[in-house]
Structure 1
């Protein structure tokens, strides 16, 4: 059995560097929700805006840019006319989906509904 001194010294552990990096990106409002809103193929800005719901166009644009720079989303421009931009999860973005689904299931079970 652990002594009170042992429990006290093990009360916290240093945050893992990978977890810190992940939450510096995914901890921003809407980032995880945007990623979790992708289906199996490319989506346009309006489709994503409707799927996420509640996010402003400027914030959605910022998040898409950040997630693209991070390599989780690929941005494709079809020169048209008219010019069309679509977004799609990269392999790294798709690899994150199981973790996002687990977070969603955890929230459903353990967090109170938002009003």
Structure 2
């Protein structure tokens, strides 16, 4: 007997699709740290080294381009000599501030000891 499975309504829900797109953008590795650094103040490329340690220049460049394409930040090139490039959040990026604050509150509400350490995880063998 053939089963008629109804597709999950959430899969076709435009709000759900928009939500997933937003999570895909801000959930990429290092993206949250870059946005968080820009919430404090605009930054030059070299200033991200101090604000986001361990982030490679290659990956920083990639993430900055992605965030610029999404309209979350803007890259401003000065007309001065030497040329300076400054990265700044757009109003769309600034609108993430209460979301990041809420996410930080949520993360702090859980004790780090809630998750079992890798050494304590049960063995599959």
Matches within 5 A, 1:1-115: 14=10, 16-39=16-39, 41-110=41-110, 112=112
Tell me how far apart the structure 1 counterparts of residues 74 and 68 of structure 2 sit (CA, whole Å): 6
Unaligned runs of 5+ in 2: 1-7, 118-125
| RMSD over aligned Cα atoms | 2.2
Unaligned runs of 5+ in 1: 1-11
Aligned length, in residue pairs = 103
What is the TM-score of this pair, normalised by structure 1? Answer: 0.78
Say if 2:76 and 2:87, in contact at 8 Å, map to a contact too: yes
> Which one is further off, 85-94 or 33-42?
33-42
**Higher-RCO chain (CA-CA 8 Å, sequence separation at least 6):** 1
Bigger radius of gyration among the two: 2
